[in-house]
Amino acid sequence: MPRFNIVPVVFGMLSVLGIYFSGMSIKFVLNELIVRFIRDGVMVLALIIPVTAGMGLNFAIVVGAMCAQVGLILAVDYQLYGVTGLLIITGVGGVFALIFGLLIGICLNRVKGKEMIATIIIGFLATSLYQLVFMAGYGTVITPHNAEMMLSRGIGIRNMIDLEHFRNVMDNLWMIDPGGIQIPVFMVLLVLLFALAVKYILSTRLGQLLRAVGESSDKAVLLGIDADRVRIIAITISTLFACFGQIIYSQNIGMLNVYTAHLNSDIFSCAALLAGGATIYQAKVHHALIGIVLFHTLFIVSPQAGQNVFQNPALGEYFRTFVAYGTIAFALMMNIQQENRRSYPERP
Amino acid sequence: MSGIKLPQLFIIAFLLLMLVMAGLLGIPLGIVVGDSLVRLAMNGVLVLSLLPMLNAGIGINFGLPVGICAGLLGMCLAVNWRGSGLIGFVEALLFSMPVAIVFGTVYSRILNRVKGREEIAATFVGFSFIPLMNFFWTVAPFGNPAMLWPIGGKGLRPSIGLKSYFGKALNDLWAVKLHGLPMPLGLLLFFGLLCLVAHLFFRTKSGRAMIAVGENETFALISGVDVKRIRAIAVILSTIIGAWGICVYAQSYGFIELYDAPMMMAFPAASAVLVGGSMGHRTTILNVILGTYLFQTVYILSVPLANELLVPEVAEIIRMFISNGIILWALLHEGTKSSHATV
């Protein structure tokens, strides 16, 4: 049964309070919000399908993000720019995302019931591997073609790569500016297109299978569904979406923090999804869309609000970090407790 | 005992390889052995803190930052009142205990609510506890200027030097040289004593009950064990030992590290206990000591090797890789076993 979820209400109230105390103009907040909606939207949408398949929050979307970064770095290395470059990045990143998504899926089929902790560890592990390749592999095993992005010692890539040739390649398409609010219509439509894609996938036969497996993996197997295969597909789609999400994010920022850009994408995306009213057992597209707006409004205003209320911007910073982690901790606590009550009602 | 498994084999092979390379590069092994003993005791208490929760069937305590923050608070109080030397260190242990009991009680309530999926919940309780404590470190009214930001004099520094307080208090206690090999007897003795107490605890009534809950909860419930209470005790014990663990670590390191420093500390500790052989069965003190020793020796050897051979940053990356690889391997291994059991 759909239970009333208090989380979006709390986020809404906190956001309103935050806007009030920060003293920021609505126009400024809206502009920032649109930018963040575009940057992070697809990443949040990537989480929905694994949740539907009963695998919980997929923290391994960082792996998808890293695949995108591999594509970006290769494009800079081979100096492929513009729209062609972007298409090649999408292709290369997509192939990596498919392979790693498949591998993650196989891993997760061995840890049923512990998928979330496993995806966190997989994310850490993949980060180490990624850092190893680009810090020690580049310049020793892999020959670089673009000396500009290398560290002066000749081994390893610089911390920061300038993506000037990709910066806002898509962002400025169809830009409209009603009343000082800049809306890049193409990008908003692109994010909504991904939202529709998720909605479409959930409405197909695959969507039914995902829901059946999410309801109960064992029952799905009895019905003749290859649950393991469905779960692998779910995680692969998620990884692929995350890869696309990170490409959009990076071209919007216009810089690539090679070793750290992907690191918090999982936490912020999961927190945003939960802020929109999703649980770890059920997530819908509108949860993602509402969640991005609520979560990022709070994110935009809290440092300034912290400055105004406590005369210390660091406190606002801690507050928003706490909100990100705390939302996930709170949701896990409430959702698991409810699920336990449902599964073992007779237990004390 | 089910013998040596892949992770142990891997880590021992890796260690041997490193030892050979260290020998070839002329890194003196005497120093390595001395350092490894220091690091064993320095990190061992943190690893030991995972034991009660593991044996009570709650799983790996990924929420170790909760205990660590209690210890940090205890140490800050000791530094605030300028406790120095061994007495300062004992003060830190004493101050951190009530804090750990309070934190642990709340933490145990949370973990009792999320039975069966404690590990993921604990991870995020730990993660979200850090910014909460950051708030506290920034506003807490500590008075010792050595702890505060030099400019403005408000809020604690990210790292507080312990040199004039209780830094190396244990490390220098009865530190002797055996055939030129430095031996921190006081430090090792303290660690040994804690291990002994933990070992003896599991022979008491509560300790046995804890193991019973870990092995078969339903059976324990039927035999009249108050499962919730035993689980709470395990969590509180883990939190207290975790708090003491960071005290031992900090006095050896020479600095109290606040703010985001404890964030990732649970993961190396977890992989140490897993390497020690705590997989799928009861965890013993031996697992803790062996695992910490193997893991920390790899740590010590990897730094000079990475400096000599490759890029300095690689040492840290490889350590993280090994540490998380072991945890993932353990998860995968456990997963297959339990799914076989239910079929």
- pLDDT > 90: percent of chain B: 50
By the 8 A CB rule, do A278 and A8 touch?
no
Residue B270 confidence (pLDDT): 93
Beta-carbon separation of B335 and A116 below 8 A: no
Residue B339 confidence (pLDDT): 40
Beta-carbon separation of B313 and A122 below 8 A: no
Residue B223 confidence (pLDDT): 87
Chains A–B, number of C-beta pairs less than 8 Å apart: 135
Taking the CB of residue A27, how many other CB atoms lie within 10 A of it? 11
Q: Give B 274-303 residues with CB within 8 A of chain A.
A: none
Residue B343 confidence (pLDDT): 30
A239-268: string of b/e by CB count within 10 Å (b at 16+)?
A: bbbbbbbbbbbbbbbeebebbebbeebbbb
Residue A95 confidence (pLDDT): 96
Q: Which of B311, B334, B335 sits opposite A135 (nearest CB)?
A: B311
Q: Where are the beta strands (DSSP E) in chain A?
A: 160-162, 175-176, 183-184, 255-257
Q: Which of B135, B267, B311 sits opposite A136 (nearest CB)?
A: B311
Question: SS3 for B166?
Answer: coil
- pLDDT band, very low/low/confident/very high, at B29 (cuts 50, 70, 90): confident
Side chain identity at residue A284, one-letter code: K
Q: Which of B110, B318, B320 sits opposite A333 (nearest CB)?
A: B110
C-alpha distances out from residue A94 to A241, B27, B110, Å: 9, 45, 40
Q: Give B 51-80 residues with CB within 8 A of chain A.
A: 62
Cα separation, A89 vs A67, in Å, equals 10
Average pLDDT of the residues of chain A: 89
Q: Which of A325, A332, A348 sits opposite B120 (nearest CB)?
A: A332
- CATH fold label, B6-197+226-331: ABC transporter involved in vitamin B12 uptake, BtuC (1.10.3470)
Cα separation, A69 vs A264, in Å, equals 14
Stronger pLDDT, B160 or A154, i.e. the higher one: B160
By the 8 A CB rule, do A1 and A282 touch?
no
B58 Cβ partners below 8 Å, 6+ apart?
B111, B118, B214, B231, B234, B235
Cα separation, A281 vs A52, in Å, equals 7
A149 Cβ partners below 8 Å, 6+ apart?
A73, A76, A77, A157, A158, A161
Beta-carbon separation of A118 and B138 below 8 A: no
Average pLDDT of the residues of chain B: 87
C-alpha distances out from residue A14 to A30, A35, A298, B54, Å: 16, 21, 7, 38
Residue B3 confidence (pLDDT): 55
Q: Which residues of chain B neighbour A118 with C-beta distances below 8 Å?
A: 328, 331-332, 335
Q: How far is B1 from chain A (nearest CA, A)?
A: 23
Residue A2 confidence (pLDDT): 52
Stronger pLDDT, B339 or B311, i.e. the higher one: B311
Written as six digits, the tokens of A279 are 């649980």
**Digit-coded pLDDT (tens) for A225-246:** 899 999 999 999 999 999 999 9
Evaluate if residue B337 carries a pLDDT over 60.
Answer: no
Place of tokens 């995020």: B124
**Digit-coded pLDDT (tens) for A155-177:** 888 888 888 877 777 777 788 88
Residue A83 confidence (pLDDT): 81
Question: SS3 for A257?
Answer: strand
Contacts 24+ apart (CB under 8 A), A169-174: A169/A82, A169/A83, A169/A86, A169/A251, A170/A86, A170/A248, A170/A251, A171/A38, A171/A251, A171/A252
Residue A168 confidence (pLDDT): 73
Evaluate if residue A197 carries a pLDDT over 90.
Answer: yes
**Digit-coded pLDDT (tens) for B152-174:** 777 899 999 998 888 888 888 88
Evaluate if residue A271 carries a pLDDT over 50.
Answer: yes
Side chain identity at residue B330, one-letter code: A
Residue B174 confidence (pLDDT): 85
SS (H, E, C) A202-232: HHCHHHHHHHHHHHCHHHHHHCCCCHHHHHH
Q: Which residues of chain B neighbour A136 with C-beta distances below 8 Å?
A: 310-311, 313-314, 317
Cα separation, B101 vs A240, in Å, equals 45
Give the angle A187-A193-A196 at the CA atoms, nearest 5°: 150
Place of tokens 């040199």: B163
| Strand-pair partners of B159 | B257
Cα separation, A90 vs A71, in Å, equals 7
Evaluate if residue B341 carries a pLDDT over 50.
Answer: no
Q: What is the pTM of this model?
A: 0.91
Place of tokens 């049923």: A112
Q: Which residues of chain A neighbour B155 with C-beta distances below 8 Å?
A: 314
Segment among B83-87, B147-151, B246-250 with least mean pLDDT: B147-151
Residue B314 confidence (pLDDT): 84
Cα separation, A313 vs B218, in Å, equals 51
Residue A344 confidence (pLDDT): 66
Q: Which of A51, A332, A335, A347 to probe the B interface (max B CBs under 10 A)?
A: A332
| Strand-pair partners of A175 | A184
Q: Which residues of chain B neighbour A318 with C-beta distances below 8 Å?
A: 131-132, 134-135, 138
**How is chain B split into domains, by residue range?**
6-197+226-331
Question: SS3 for A22?
Answer: helix
Stronger pLDDT, A136 or A122, i.e. the higher one: A122
**Digit-coded pLDDT (tens) for B190-248:** 999 999 999 999 999 999 999 999 888 888 888 888 999 999 999 999 999 999 999 99
Q: Which residues of chain A neighbour B274 with C-beta distances below 8 Å?
A: none
Beta-carbon separation of B120 and A340 below 8 A: no
Give the angle B46-A63-A123 at the CA atoms, nearest 5°: 10
Q: Give B 122-161 residues with CB within 8 A of chain A.
A: 123-125, 127-128, 130-132, 134-135, 138-139, 155
Residue B1 confidence (pLDDT): 42
Q: Which residues of chain A neighbour B327 with C-beta distances below 8 Å?
A: 121
Count Cβ atoms within 10 A of the Cβ of residue A183 and give its class: 0-12 exposed, 13-18 middle, 19 or more buried.
Answer: middle
Residue A348 confidence (pLDDT): 44
| H-state helical runs in chain B | 6-25, 29-48, 51-55, 64-80, 85-113, 118-139, 185-201, 205-215, 217-222, 227-253, 266-275, 285-309, 313-342
- pLDDT band, very low/low/confident/very high, at B342 (cuts 50, 70, 90): very low
CA torsion A214-A218-A222-A225 (nearest 10°) is 40
**How is chain A split into domains, by residue range?**
7-336
Query: Searching chain A, which residue's CA lies closest to the CA of residue B263?
Result: A325
Evaluate if residue A66 carries a pLDDT over 50.
Answer: yes
Residue B272 C-beta-side C-alpha neighbours within 13 Å: 33
Rounded to the nearest 10 degrees, what angle do helices A313-343 and B85-113 cross at?
Answer: 50
Taking the CB of residue B335, how many other CB atoms lie within 10 A of it? 20
Residue A3 confidence (pLDDT): 60
Read off the pLDDT of each residue in A185-214 and give the average, rounded to a whole number. 93
**Digit-coded pLDDT (tens) for B85-133:** 899 999 999 999 999 999 999 999 999 999 888 999 999 999 999 999 9
Q: Which residues of chain B neighbour A153 with C-beta distances below 8 Å?
A: 311
By the 8 A CB rule, do B137 and B77 touch?
no
Q: Could you say which architecture CATH assigns to the domain A7-336?
A: Orthogonal Bundle (1.10)
Chain A positions with Cβ closer than 8 Å to B: 56, 107, 110-114, 116-118, 120-122, 124-125, 127-129, 131-132, 135-136, 140, 153, 155-156, 267, 310, 312, 314-315, 318-319, 321-322, 325-326, 328-329, 332-333, 336-337, 340, 348
Query: Searching chain A, which residue's CA lies closest to the CA of residue B60?
Result: A117
Question: SS3 for A94?
Answer: helix
CA torsion A46-B321-B63-A261 (nearest 10°) is -40
Residue B4 confidence (pLDDT): 63
**Digit-coded pLDDT (tens) for A322-344:** 989 999 999 999 888 888 887 76
State the complex-level ipTM. Answer: 0.90
Q: Which of A59, A100, A107, A111 to probe the B interface (max B CBs under 10 A)?
A: A111
A292-319: string of b/e by CB count within 10 Å (b at 16+)?
A: bbbbbbbbbbbbbbbbbeeebebbbbbb
Residue A1 confidence (pLDDT): 42
Segment among A50-59, A105-114, A259-268, B301-310 with least mean pLDDT: B301-310
Cα separation, B241 vs B198, in Å, equals 10
**B182 phi, psi to nearest 5 deg:** -70, 130
